[in-house]
Structure 1
Amino acid sequence: MVRLLNRLFRRIPQDLDHIKTGLLVPLLSLLFVGWLMLMVVNPPLGRFNRWMSLALAKLQGGSRLVLGAVLGALMATDYGGPINKAAYVTGTLAVTNSQYDLMAAVMAGGMIPPLGLALACLLFPTRFTKAERRTVPQNLVMGASFVTEGALPFALRDPLRVVPSCMAGSALAGFLTVLFGCGCPAPHGGLFLLAVIGNPLGFLAALAAGSLLTTLLVGMLKKPVKS
């Protein structure tokens, strides 16, 4: 859209160029993107999100261990996308109903992808480029802070190997947090909430197991690459 607007406004006099670059192009492109989100993107994604939330709500009557694993896996599916958000909303709603174990499963599942990939870069350096290996410190911080998006660049480069590996590790972590009776009373914070998480040692054990599973799967599935 910006390219198109620049072409349309190419005949604007040089004296008015600052109006084009400072007002017309940013404003019109922003309005176009807003219209696109409102009229084209949001309706189908909104329906999908509602369907996902209802499906997860129905699972709450069944095995909580299965639900913990499902929520954990969904948190590692699209790294901030609609599936991730549906699982996160389920966890935050569970907090309002004092179901802290489900929020713990959601948080653990969202922390695993960046933590597991950071560990994989350290243990299997030949599977990653030099640029990817440089992201280890930031992914450790993002994982500890419950910022799943740290894994997104890895998933975009190699989705068929990275995404299933992260989902498996996150599912295991979600399963174990419920099994160990962990509970998280807050919707965000990661390891910074460790002091208020029920059974913090169990939560750490679930994180360690899930991260290690993701790391091992990534190490086995990915092929060596040139730095």
Structure 2
Amino acid sequence: MKIVAVTNCPAGIAHTYMVAEALERKAVSLGHTIKVETQGASGVENHLTPAEIKAADYVILALGRTISEDDYFRFSGKKVVEIKVSEALKQIETIFDDLDAKATTFGNDQAVKMGKQETPSGSVMSHLMAGVSAALPFVIGGGLLVAIANMLVQFGMPYTDMANGDPSFTWIVESIGYLGFKFMIPIMGAYIASSIGDKPAFAPAFLVTYLANDNTMLGTQSGAGFLGAVVLGLGVGYFVKYFRKVKLGKALQPLLGSMIIPFVTLFVFGILTYYVLGPLMGGMMDGMLHFLNTIPPSMKFGAAFLVGAMLAFDMGGPINKTAWFFCFALLDKGIYDWYAIVGVVALMPPMAAGISTFIAPRLFTKQEKGAAISSIIVGATVATEPAIPYALAAPLPMITANTISGGIAGVLTIMFGVERLAPGIGIFDPLIGLMSPWYWFYLALFIGLALNIFLIITLKSIWAKRKEAKLKDEERLTETTGDSI
């Protein structure tokens, strides 16, 4: 068969490309021809041409977020199989079975209807991750520039700000970098809103989220931070979603999305933000920051264990993303130690699983051993998802090992005072100045990995022995029943 596919996920980083690779590998093993278009954080790659779509027998859409109206029109008249991107890896062995029964033929009317959905399908978390995905380039680029400026100062270059004369090169680089941190929150709010209410929600959400973080204008000690992005992004998004259903007649209807909705939404939420939401959320953020800065060590270590365990538990799933979002959201407030937990724990499950296959190969299948090197390499760049196939094969021992070791690594990270400025390239973050102190980072990672590997081998050995004993008991029972008959 000739097949074309599209993959995307809320963050556009891991699942998008892992599912594409898995689809390609499985299709080739079955003798099919396939081309997969990825809609990731880097934009659309491996774009499907009209000729390729026309020649295809089936279209597979593995989606974590809504595709555009133009995408639906592209596949009009084709047999299309839709599946959640989070389920694709779990169903990869059977995904090509009986495609005809799974497929729906897209007609022109259906394409129009689906393409004009007012709200992207998905949970609140999918909308939040759409905002995070848009904010990532701001904080990554900004974090790298701040790190470079700090490295240049350490190498002896002068640092002079504008108040003391002509600004130095290092100050300029650092200031540009901090712009990324300044605008990541308004961008996050804008993309959360547009994920719900489409383009008319973007500008109002950006402006009111920026206002909520301007503590000088609001007269608060702190801006609303990520809390403002979440509350205002969701609020504006759903407000616009229902506003778009208003019917104004043929003369005024074209102005609804381009003029009326942005104006009314900005007016309503601008006033609400200035007088109510901004000061309220700024006060809440002040309280949270005060709590995090004054929390007793015992409570902080307990919270660090919980965050580390959540990050390792479902390997890129909703629990992982909740913990990740909490840590990531503190970056714009200059709190970097919690995000360092992400930088350590996210590496561990896939790397530990891959390394364990070399230490105890008898515990793993041929396919798991074949994927080990890829799991280690991809895992080393902070993509936890390569651990999923190992966890699906043996859920209880693998998830238990990952969760316990992730929690302990989270405690070690906080205990050692490791900080992470921004998302980066995983194990190499200390080399580009994003993670410090480098020696404590590598020590926390080494201890966490060693513990993870030890627990995987120990728990999976016990699990395998019990499974083997259960099979022998079943065989013995079968033989006894046969003799009785």
TM class by shorter-chain length? 0.7 to 0.9
Q: What amino acid does structure 1 have at the position aligned with 2:422?
A: A
Q: 2:354 aligns with which of 101, 105, 118?
A: 118
Matches within 5 A, 1:18-167: 20-21=77-78, 25=105, 31=114, 38=121, 42=123, 60=292, 61-62=295-296, 63-167=299-403
Displacement after TM superposition at 1:110 (Å)? 1.1
Asked whether the 8 Å contact 1:69–1:105 carries over to 2, the reply is: no
CA contact (8 A) 2:125 2:318 kept: no
2: CA distance between counterparts of 1:163 and 1:26?
40
Q: For each residue in 1:94-145, what CA deviation from the matched residue of structure 2 results, as whole angstroms up to 9, or x when unmatched?
A: 2222221111112211111011111111111111001101111111112210
Q: 1:210 to 1:95 in 2, by over 3 A?
A: same
Contact 2:418 2:436 in 1 (8 A): yes
Aligned residue pairs, count:
200
Q: Aligned equivalents of 2:119 and 2:401: distance in 1?
A: 33
Please tell me the residue identity of whatever aligns with 1:175.
V
SS in 2 for 1:76: helix
Identity of aligned residues (%): 26
Is the 1:71–1:109 Cα contact (8 Å) retained in structure 2? no
Residues 94 and 100, structure 1, Cα contact 8 Å, conserved in 2: yes
**Secondary structure class of the residue paired with 1:146:** coil
- Structure 2, unaligned stretches of length 5 or more? 1-56, 58-74, 81-103, 128-229, 231-283, 469-485
**Is contact 1:109–1:170 with CA below 8 Å preserved after alignment?**
yes
**TM-score (normalizing by structure 2):** 0.37
Q: Of the candidates 183, 190, 198, which is equivalent to residue 426 of structure 2? A: 190
User: What displacement does 1:188 show?
Assistant: 3.8
Deviates further, 126-135 or 215-224? 215-224
For residues 126 and 98 of structure 1, what CA distance do their matches in structure 2 show?
47
CA–CA distance in 2 between the matches of 1:36 and 1:128? 43
Bigger share in strand: 2
Identify the structure with the greater helix proportion: 1
* Unaligned runs of at least 5 residues, structure 1: 1-16
CA distance 1:157–1:98, shift in 2 (3 Å): same
Aligned-residue CA RMSD (Å): 3.4
Deviation at 1:205, TM superposition (A): 1.1
Judge which range, 186-195 or 84-93, deviates more: 186-195
* Alignment TM-score, normalising by the size of structure 1: 0.75
| Partner residue, 2:451 | 213
Paired letter, 2:105: V
TM-superposition CA deviations, 1:7-64 (whole Å, max 9, x none): xxxxxxxxxx9963278735759949x89973xx516988xxx9xxx9xx69844533
